Amino acid sequence: MTDFVVALPFPPSSLNPNGRNHWAALAKAKKIYRAECQMLAVSERNKYAFSADPKPRVVITFFPPNRRKRDRDNMIAAFKSGQDGVADAIGVDDYYWITSYGFEEPVKGGRVEVRFLGSVNVEP
């Protein structure tokens, strides 16, 4: 068994909890981001023999798109709809995830890596 890793886009600024977006615009942004993350996770999951642990150990690592200062708790909150999309894709509610977070240096465009520890059989 090895790790299952999904690379996802960094959450759009409209999902930042400090934003002052209209509730309808916020709901639309959440729906779009959740669907995008779900699609990417399903695509990655279908490449491998993925076995979902009922209580998976998950490491979520944020790579922001630039060096602008961001509150870590806001990054986590902005990613919530993306996390729900990944949970939909693997069939395990994120309530049961044993989650830890990492924060790395910026990369062009930004990304979020969701790593399920020991969840994939080696042969694709």
Give per-residue pLDDT as tens, 77-109. 999 999 999 999 998 999 999 999 999 999 999
Question: Rounded mean pLDDT of 17-38?
Answer: 94
E strand map for 12-84? 57-63
Contact by Cβ (8 Å): 2, 124: no
Q: Reply yes or no on domain 2-120 having CATH 3.30.1330.70.
A: yes
Confidence of residue 124 (pLDDT cuts 50, 70, 90): low
pLDDT of residue 120: 63
